[in-house]
Amino acid sequence: MKTLALNSSPRTGIQSKTELMLDHLVTGMKEAGAEVEVVNLRKKKINSCMGCFTCWTKTPGKCIHEDDMTNELYPKWLEADIAIYATPLYHYTMNATMKAFIERTLPVVEPFLREREGNTYHPLRQKHPKLCFLSVAGFPEPQVFNQLSAWVNFVYGQYGIVVGEIYRPLAEVLDLPFFREKVDDIFSATEQAGKEIVQAGKISPETMARITQPIVDDKKEFYEMGNKMWEACIEKGLTPKEFMEQLEG
Ligand SMILES: Cc1cc2nc3c(=O)[nH]c(=O)nc-3n(C[C@H](O)[C@H](O)[C@H](O)COP(=O)(O)O)c2cc1C
């Protein structure tokens, strides 16, 4: 099973919780036999869709831009059985880098107008890869992902291609030692999710419950810790990354 894992986080290493979660998902998928390529979109040149519809008219299926999307990513994406869209939650939705990528997949549909269950849609020109969305958020409530999930299901549910939605709230604590036991279980469940996607084409409710499990019992505990960190950053004039580096010596 060919998998293209796209990571749109601008951050890297343990600072990026998108990357942390994606690493575990990919590990599980590889263990189950998938062939996975991870692409960091921050390193790629992806121009904005210009809305010219050249890809629908003059060169059907081919975008007018000459950039990494046209020359490298789009052909790989078309060949993939599954694409993972891994994005940090920004303003309660995917970030702009991921949105730019998705908008550039317009050539995969034809311009024609059809109707299904009262909704207008464009028919697919080519096979669309199955999709697994992965997102992480700073806030602790699972409902911060409601808008993203509604969007995912509205846009892609109609094509029946969504094989997973992995949403992890309170993700900024995933690299802290205080919650090791729960975090290890979240990571191992994320690996399990990867295996299930490859083996069963879906993620079981038990695995999802482990991925989204609460990390702190009382939100105030998290507010206190977070607010102390921000106060210290402001006082010392440090970004969170610089602050953590200073703490670690
Ligand atoms: C521009 C911006 C917008 C954000 N918006 C939200 C948000 O709407 N809800 C939320 O819970 N967290 C929000 N966050 C926090 C990020 O989702 C969180 O820091 C996450 O870990 C980022 O992913 P990364 O670690 O891979 O960079 C936002 C962060 C940034 C920088």
Between CA 99 and CA 158, with CA 122 as vertex, the angle to 5 degrees is: 75
- The pLDDT score that the predictor gives to residue 141 is 96
Tell me which residue of 46, 39, 49 sits closest to 67, measured CA to CA: 46
**Which pLDDT score is estimated for 3?**
98
CA of 10 to the centre of ligand 1 (A): 11
pLDDT for position 114: 96
Ligand 1 touching residue 170 (CB < 6 A) = no
Q: What does the pLDDT read at residue 158?
A: 85
Ligand 1 atom nearest the C-alpha of 137 is 17
pLDDT, tens digit, 9 for 90 and up, residues 115-161:
999 999 999 999 999 999 999 999 999 999 999 999 999 999 989 99
Cα(16) to centroid(ligand 1), Å = 10
Confirm or reject: Cβ of 7 under 6 Å from ligand 1.
no
Ligand 1 nearest-atom number relative to CA 171: 21
Percent of the chain with pLDDT over 90: 94
Sequence-separated (6 or more) residues with CB below 8 Å from residue 88: 8, 9, 11, 16, 17, 18, 95, 135, 136, 137
Q: Does the CB atom of residue 16 touch ligand 1 within 6 A? A: yes
Angle at 20 between CA 14 and CA 25, to 5 degrees: 165
Tell me whether strands 82-88 and 130-136 are parallel, antiparallel or unpaired. parallel
**What's the pLDDT at 72?**
98
- For residue 249, the model assigns a pLDDT of 80
DSSP the chain: -EEEEEE--S--GGG-HHHHHHHHHHHHHHHTT-EEEEEEGGGS--PPP----GGGTTSTT--S--SHIIIIIHHHHHH-SEEEEEEE-BTTB--HHHHHHHHTTGGGB-S--EEETTEEEPPBSSPPPEEEEEEE-SSS-GGGGHHHHHHHHHHHGGGT-EEEEEEESSGGGTT-GGGHHHHHHHHHHHHHHHHHHHHHSS--HHHHHHHT--S-S-HHHHHHHHHHHHHHHHHHT--HHHHHHHHH-
Ligand 1 pocket test: pick from 16, 89, 166, 229 the residue with the most ligand atoms within 8 Å of its Cβ.
Answer: 89
Contacts of residue 219, defined as CB under 8 A and 6 or more positions apart, other chains included, come to: 140
Which strands form 2-7's sheet, in the order they lie side by side?
35-40, 2-7, 82-88, 130-136, 162-168
144 lines ligand 1 (CB under 6 A): yes
- CB of residue 243 inside a 6 A radius of ligand 1: no
- Here the tokens at position 211 are 């991925």
**What ligand 1 atom has the least distance to the C-alpha of 172?**
21
- Digit-by-digit pLDDT tens for the chain (249 residues) are 999 999 999 999 889 999 999 999 999 999 999 999 999 999 999 999 999 999 999 999 999 999 999 999 999 999 999 999 999 999 999 999 999 999 999 999 999 999 999 999 999 999 999 999 999 999 999 999 999 999 999 999 989 999 999 999 999 999 998 899 999 999 999 999 999 999 999 999 999 999 999 999 999 989 999 999 999 999 999 999 999 999 888
Q: Tell me: the pLDDT tens digits for 90-106?
A: 999 999 999 999 999 99
